[in-house]
Amino acid sequence: MSDGGKRRRAEAGASEIAALIGVDGRLRLRVTPHAKRDRLTVERDAPGGPRLRVWVIAVPEDGKANKAVVKLLAKALGKPKSALTIERGLTSRDKTIHIAGG
C-alpha cells in the first residue's frame, strides 16, 4: 500500500534527541504549528545536517507555539522548561534552542 509519497517518521525518543544536541548545548529544529497532534521526529537529511522536527497543536500567535515547543521538548528530555531557551527563530519555523546542562 502506498503512503502517497509522504515519508513516515518514527517518533523521536530522548536518546535520539540527545544525540542531536551539540557539545555547546544547542539543538536545531524545524517547527510546524497548528498540527493535528504534538510529536517529535528526527529529520536526518535536512539541509545543514540532522535536526529535530517538531509538530505542535498550538497556533503561532502570541508565542503559544513556542511555549508548546519548549514544553514538549522539556518533557521528552526529562528537563525543566526553564532549562530550555529559544536562541534563534522566535518568529521562524527554523529554531535553535539552547539546553542548559545538556
Describe the chain by its helix, strand, coil percentages, rounded to 5: 25, 25, 50
pLDDT in tens, 40-98: 999 998 898 899 999 999 999 999 999 999 999 999 999 999 999 999 999 999 999 99
User: What DSSP character marks residue 94?
Assistant: E
What pLDDT is stored for residue 9 in this prediction?
64
- Residue 60 is placed in which grid cell? 503561532
- Is a pLDDT exceeding 60 seen at residue 4? no
What pLDDT is stored for residue 7 in this prediction?
54
Give the pLDDT mean for 22-45.
Answer: 96
Beta-carbon-side half-sphere exposure of residue 48 (alpha carbons within 13 Å): 10
Q: Which domains does the chain have, with CATH numbers?
A: 14-99 (3.30.1200.10)
| Residues 74, 33, 3, 29, CA torsion sign | negative
